[in-house]
A and B are shown apart, each in its own frame.
Chain A
Amino acid sequence: DTGVSQDPRHKITKRGQNVTFRCDPISEHNRLYWYRQTLGQGPEFLTYFQNEAQLEKSRLLSDRFSAERPKGSFSTLEIQRTEQGDSAMYLCASSLRGKADAEAFFGQGTRLTVV
């Protein structure tokens, strides 16, 4: 395991459909983050987990969004009833709590297009 892995890399879905993305963090990392990035903008924080506990959620995370990390390892991000405004790159990152600088390592992202 050399980095954060995200699946799928690309997803095209019709408006109203549900989608689920997966993130596999670096194996020893106990913190996992989800970010959303739209074209020309920096990533925006959505939520983060420490082990299996979801500790913070952004106001950007509407009721249609849910994230889980059931065993404290991989995480899923589900979007229900997708809207065109959900089209974005969804980035996952992980870090190790206790490491002084807490450098977050990012995955390649899942690009979602809602048509």
Chain B
Amino acid sequence: GESVGLHLPTLSVQEGDNSIINCAYSNSASDYFIWYKQESGKGPQFIIDIRSNMDKRQGQRVTVLLNKTVKHLSLQIAATQPGDSAVYFCAENLVLGKLTFGQGTILTVHP
């Protein structure tokens, strides 16, 4: 079946390091992807998105890379801070606003 999934369920980094969170998708027709951050007890929070006509998009301290050849998506967080500790989900937007989420990666940032 078609799905969006994540390679690594957990990631631990030191404060100040860069973090890379990966995501694989299987639907080659996917054309819009979003990264969400979810802190404990809260709803998902939009981080950054990318369309399939791009291979890179940058935000504040975050960069999303899209490799359509291998159907791979990554989120890079520069100078990771303790406040970045959360679960990160990639999501595929097939129908406007209807999201299919991957399993999630737990990011833990150690001071």
List the A residue with the shortest CB-CB distance to B106: A40
Q: Which of B32, B95, B101 contacts A42 (CB 8 A)?
A: B101
Q: How far is the CA of A35 from the CA of B41 in the complex (A)?
A: 15
Query: What 1/0 mask marks residues of chain B from 85 to 99 whose CB sits below 8 Å from any chain A CB?
Result: 000010101011111
Picked from A42, A91, A102, A105, the residue with its CB within 8 Å of the CB of B103 is A42
Whether the Cβ atoms of B49 and A43 lie closer than 8 Å is: no
- A21 contacts chain B at the CB level, 8 A cutoff: no
- Given the known interface contacts A41-B104, A42-B101, A42-B103, the answer about A97 and B43 at a Cβ–Cβ threshold of 8 Å is no
A-B interface pairs (CB < 8 A), number: 58
Closest CB in chain B relative to A67 CB, distance in Å: 14
A35: B residues at CB distance < 8 A? 99
Task: Provide the A5-47 mask, 1 if CB < 8 A to any CB of B, else 0.
Answer: 0000000000000000000000000010101000011111100
- Would you give the 0/1 interface string for B26-52, flagging 1 where the beta carbon is closer than 8 Å to chain A? 000000101010000111111001000
Cβ of A58 to closest chain B Cβ, rounded Å: 9
Q: Are B32 and A101 in contact (CB under 8 A)?
A: yes
Among A91, A97, A104, A109, the most chain B Cβ lie within 10 Å of the Cβ of A104
Contacts of A95 in B (CB 8 A): 96-97
Whether a CB of chain A sits under 8 angstroms from the CB of B100 is yes
Q: Are A91 and B44 closer than 8 Å at their CB atoms? A: yes
Chain A residue contacts of B104, Cβ below 8 A: 40-42
CA distance A106 to B38 in the complex (A): 10
- The CA-CA distance from A106 to B89 in the complex, in Å, is 13
Q: What residues of chain B lie closer than 8 Å to A109, measured between beta carbons? A: 42-43
Within 8 Å by CB of A45, from B36, B41, B96, B98, lies B98
Residues 86-114 of A contacting B (Cβ, < 8 Å) = 91, 93, 95, 97, 101-109
